[in-house]
Structure 1
């Protein structure tokens, strides 16, 4: 009898995929633990933030690299909608190369860093960069690793300018790909920087995720049993960044053997559609906005009418992979829809005979990025 994402746990262990499978499956429990932790630390969070988000002059930069950057991109518009403060997502990989575009000495700036390990060189360098350039800088580190360099860098900075918001220990994924760490940090950002009543919302979302994991396990495994050359993920608004994270998951867990592309439904016609062939799977994340839904449906009808792609499926309230989700903002539902893409990538890795917990056994790509030389911003 299968009891872990449509496989026996021993079968996952045999192919070196047990850690990733467990980390995908335990996300509802991690989200509940996150809720408890945030409720306990709410006074410290409130004291740290003060009234800064109500200040139109306050700049909030959501940053990270790779998957961690997509966390910020998913939540940025939702947070920008909530507050007078200026909220934007800027990857550390952009912040380090072009600081003059994003940082000003006289603009108060809150740098929100997302990091699973807290040891990537870009994350650490971004903090130092902002500290060097911005006079009134504060730092909120949302990280899964209490022992990481980011959490230990400035734990007792004078003036209360640093707050380390540690995720539940189980969120610090052992596998190569970020799964529970991604969704946990995303929900933490929405909870502490948004306005929703997260103490009610997070348990509700966890219950929906448990049901989705049960309902989707067999259909996702069946879909992934058919090898593909390419996967296209499509999403509108905040779900565009979700599509990028989903595409990265299939790239990572298949060791690059399955090529992946992410776009918006409207943007897909402007060239990227040429990537389609009979060995392509298209996955459309259905958004909640009625206007976006009409554009999404137009493209979906077109793709099915053309018949160029091998298969098109949808994920969302009324999708092929559906859940009875409430009428929440897309950013809040993104972790739920991502469960489908995470499972699909894991099963594709198994279909290709790879080792999902470490798809790059040759070390060409690493769990924590290596080989980055940090260059000073103030040197010619």
Structure 2
């Protein structure tokens, strides 16, 4: 009988998990495809971005909603260092709610919009408000849906460039998996100096996780943890936020996810710890930052059983950790790609263990794949 991520295919089909499982497993192949597409369209992308990046006063704003906002959280620290300029991650939900605060400084701005469907109301409205509030604004749209409003509604090609991911990245399942890692990678290829060799190494690390960690994720789910805390510092804090959202979404809130930084966890959020709390700690590849991750892991082992703590790391010397091989020298924004697959596997297995249907955890429509119901109000009635 054929198995997939630790389950037979018929079990996944019967329990509403086949799409999500396939979309988690396909990510190495999708990344390779994104790298090839980026190489094919690189000259066009560079022609759009190069004149903008030569402007010393250019501000870059990374935006999206939900998981797409966390793409920006992951990328912003790395891009600040690489580009040597102001790069801010601001959710579309914040831009729409208070655009005059988000764009308080009337400086030339590149708005980088991330979206799986490009059809959520905030996605398009944020671009409209940026154009309305700012004098000089350009748009880089990174999306998985060529038919979405975000990809199709901008008419001025001199001010807009669309990076379209392969169709496979447009996840059919409720939760964003391939779309999240795909958009992170596409932006790194466009702005972050990532090359195809590095993508191949990332794909190899992800294939290792997919081959070796489903059983461990199933074992964690069998322990009956009702709370999962994801810890990450710097760039990895964005990964922690996305990871906490994944388990919350796929279990329909039956397992509560919380995200914090290693240092921030002591300042109140540590109150969540009890015998039913699983802590997953992402260890930074940065030697300075990782000291704080390791300090917190050691502190947690003084108050929790060892089975309640999982460390995910690219550093091979970390005994007992979930190792991401071959990525120890990478920037954390790249490390995020194979690292978050660990959280996707945990969320999938927790969802199935709790009797949920991962492809559609909310069959009653309480929460939707593409957000509905938000009314977009005019800035000046």
Is this a same-fold pair by TM over 0.5?
yes
Mapped to 2, the partners of 1:293 and 1:84 lie a distance apart of: 23
Mapped to 2, the partners of 1:252 and 1:314 lie a distance apart of: 22
Q: Does 1:179 align with 2:177?
A: yes
Question: Matches of residues 26-37 of structure 1 in structure 2 within 5 Å?
Answer: 26-37=26-37
Question: Matches of residues 46-61 of structure 1 in structure 2 within 5 Å?
Answer: 46-61=46-61
Distance 1:53 1:85, change over 3 A: farther
Mapped to 2, the partners of 1:105 and 1:329 lie a distance apart of: 30
Mapped to 2, the partners of 1:309 and 1:230 lie a distance apart of: 16
Mapped to 2, the partners of 1:67 and 1:31 lie a distance apart of: 18
Deviations 1:12-66 (A, max 9, x none): 1110100000000000000000001000100110111123223220011100000
Shift of 1:327: 0.4
State the match for 1:362 in structure 2: 364
Deviations 1:233-291 (A, max 9, x none): 00011000100000000000000111111001111111000111111100000111222
TM-score normalised by structure 1 residue count: 0.96
Conserved? CA contact 1:280–1:310, under 8 Å: no
Q: Which moved more, 1:268-277 or 1:302-311?
A: 302-311
State the match for 1:326 in structure 2: 328
State the match for 1:193 in structure 2: 191
SS at match of 2:113: strand
Q: Which moved more, 1:79-88 or 1:27-36?
A: 79-88
Shift of 1:303: 1.2
State the match for 1:376 in structure 2: 378
Deviations 1:270-325 (A, max 9, x none): 10001111111000001112222222222111111123797111111236211222
Question: Matches of residues 45-84 of structure 1 in structure 2 within 5 Å?
Answer: 45-84=45-84
State the match for 2:160 in structure 1: 162
Question: Matches of residues 221-260 of structure 1 in structure 2 within 5 Å?
Answer: 221-260=218-257
Mapped to 2, the partners of 1:342 and 1:230 lie a distance apart of: 16
Mapped to 2, the partners of 1:235 and 1:281 lie a distance apart of: 14
Deviations 1:202-246 (A, max 9, x none): 122112211221111221222222221100000011000100000
State the match for 1:298 in structure 2: 295
Conserved? CA contact 2:94–2:102, under 8 Å: no
Q: Which moved more, 1:357-366 or 1:216-225?
A: 216-225
Conserved? CA contact 1:61–1:88, under 8 Å: yes
Question: Matches of residues 89-104 of structure 1 in structure 2 within 5 Å?
Answer: 89-103=89-103
Deviations 1:173-199 (A, max 9, x none): 000000000000001111101123x22
Conserved? CA contact 2:67–2:176, under 8 Å: yes
Total equivalences in the alignment: 376
Conserved? CA contact 2:114–2:143, under 8 Å: yes
Deviations 1:134-172 (A, max 9, x none): 122111110001111111112x415x1111110011000
Q: Does 1:212 align with 2:209?
A: yes
TM-score normalised by structure 2 residue count: 0.95
Mapped to 2, the partners of 1:195 and 1:34 lie a distance apart of: 14
SS at match of 2:213: helix
Conserved? CA contact 1:277–1:309, under 8 Å: no
Give 1:275's match in structure 2, choosing from 257, 272, 275.
272
SS at match of 2:259: strand
Conserved? CA contact 1:63–1:69, under 8 Å: yes
- Superposition RMSD in Å: 1.5
State the match for 2:283 in structure 1: 286
Mapped to 2, the partners of 1:50 and 1:306 lie a distance apart of: 52
Conserved? CA contact 1:116–1:143, under 8 Å: yes
State the match for 1:122 in structure 2: 122
Deviations 1:323-343 (A, max 9, x none): 222301111110111111001
Mapped to 2, the partners of 1:320 and 1:223 lie a distance apart of: 14
Q: Which moved more, 1:141-150 or 1:289-298?
A: 289-298
SS at match of 1:50: helix
- Stretches of structure 1 lacking an aligned partner (at least 5 in a row): none
Q: Which moved more, 1:291-300 or 1:62-71?
A: 291-300
Q: Which moved more, 1:185-194 or 1:311-320?
A: 311-320
- Stretches of structure 2 lacking an aligned partner (at least 5 in a row): none
